Amino acid sequence: MKRTPEPELMNEASQARAYAEADFQEPNQLFLDLFTEHFPSFDGKTVVDLGCGPADIAIEFALQHPDARVIGVDGAQSMLEFGHNRIAKTGLAGQVELRCLYLEPETVKHICPSSGADAVISNSLL
């Protein structure tokens, strides 16, 4: 299936704040529950979250899978700033890494480590 990345970025601080402060717990939990339903014995070590925004799902995934390293990718640095703060508050700095990259063919190679990823997730980017 050919997918096209979401073209909009939330670069403005006010946009990022509004998104980061919104309550997406229910759809985020559904996303995580569906992942678990489809991959009940997932024991991967590297997970990439495309369009991670303020890292809500990346953080919750890391909490549910303590052996996994989660790399969150978003094109908006303003969104990632909220994610960095949340990661620090949850003590997951060694487990969740955030990268600011806009998805284009030439940047994809910079997303995954050289060893690849065991899963790539994306709630709303694609």
Q: What is the pLDDT of residue 102?
A: 82
- pTM of the full structure: 0.84
pLDDT reading at 110 higher than 80: no
Q: What is the pLDDT of residue 80?
A: 96
Mean pLDDT of 78-98: 96
- Helix then strand count (H, E) for the chain reads 4, 4
Q: What is the pLDDT of residue 42?
A: 93
pLDDT reading at 21 higher than 60: yes
pLDDT reading at 34 higher than 70: yes
Per-residue tokens: 108: 């994809």
Domains of the chain: 25-37+44-121 (3.40.50.150)
CA 112/CA 116 separation, integer angstroms: 5
Residue that is written with structure tokens 């946009």 in the block: 15
Residue 4 pLDDT grade (very low, low, confident, very high; cuts 50, 70, 90): low
pLDDT reading at 104 higher than 80: no
